[in-house]
Amino acid sequence: MLTEQINDTSDYPDVVEFLQPVKLEGTLKNENETFVFEAKGNTVVNLRCDRCLAPVRKELCFEIKERFAHTGRGNEETETFSGDQIDLADFVRRGILCALPMKVLCSDHCKGLCPVCGKNLNEGVCECDTTYIDPRFESLRTLFNVDEEV
């Protein structure tokens, strides 16, 4: 098992904070001068809820399967390397990025923030007027009469 602390988080979205080192367990096999790397990894990150910005602790699990060949011996299906070392950092980074959820919610019932004052609506209701209509769409209100059927 390989455990690596990620110190350079510049390749990750600003809202990702690593709470644990990335743990990686896998195999590297030599198959006719092509190296096959298969691994499973996990880590725990702190993200932000997309609706209310509350912190959300999330375990990320990911898999990596890559084929490597020495420079000049590979094809379009293999990654190439030179020397006697293969740098797996980019592949681990890609695995983590692919494991990040597209939408992060603190709960399925998250109410988000008030669009007027910014209060977290999960903590209670605010007194803001929510009947605000964007001035660009105000003229559309006159097209419809509530009592008429459209």
pTM over 0.85: no
Same domain assignment for residues 7 and 29: yes
Q: Is residue 32 part of a domain?
A: yes
- Contact between 52 and 113 under an 8 Å Cβ cutoff? The reply is yes
Total domains present in the chain? 2
Same domain assignment for residues 42 and 72: yes
Torsion angles phi and psi, residue 76, rounded to 5? -70, -15
Tell me the per-residue pLDDT of 7-19, one tens digit each, with 9 for 90 and over: 555 666 676 888 8
C-alpha count within 13 angstroms, C-beta hemisphere, residue 149: 0
Q: How far is CA 37 from CA 23, 67, 68, 91, in A?
A: 15, 6, 8, 10
Tell me the per-residue pLDDT of 101-120, one tens digit each, with 9 for 90 and over: 999 999 999 999 998 889 99
Q: Residue 147 is part of which domain span? A: 111-150
Q: Is residue 106 part of a domain?
A: no
Tell me the per-residue pLDDT of 53-102, one tens digit each, with 9 for 90 and over: 999 999 999 999 988 887 666 666 777 777 777 788 888 888 998 999 99
Q: Count each helix (H run) and each strand (E run) in the chain, helices first.
A: 2, 6
Same domain assignment for residues 67 and 118: no
